[in-house]
Amino acid sequence: MAETKEAVKHVVLAKFKEDLTTEKVEEIINGYAGLVSLIEPMKDFHWGTDVSIENLHQGFTHVFVSTFESTEGIAEYISHPVHVEFANKFLQLLDKILVIDYKPTTVNLS
Rule CB under 8 A: which residues touch its own copies? 1, 4, 8-11, 13, 26, 29-30, 32-34, 37, 45-54, 56-58, 60, 62-63, 65, 71, 74-75, 78, 97-107, 109
* Catalytic residue (choose from 62, 80, 83, 102): 80
* Catalytic residue (choose from 10, 62, 77, 83): 77
DSSP run (H or E) holding 82: helix 81-92
Say whether 102 is catalytic.
no
Cα–Cα distance, 13 to 47 (Å, whole number)? 10
Cα–Cα distance, 93 to 105 (Å, whole number)? 33
Say whether 57 is catalytic.
no
Nearer to its own copies, 42 or 74 (CB): 74
Cβ atoms 69, 7 nearer than 8 A: yes
Nearer to its own copies, 18 or 54 (CB): 54
As measured in angstroms, the least distance from the Cβ of 19 to its own copies is 22
**Phi/psi at 58 (5° precision):** 50, 35
Cβ atoms 14, 96 nearer than 8 A: yes
Nearer to its own copies, 45 or 69 (CB): 45
Enumerate the active-site residues: 77, 80
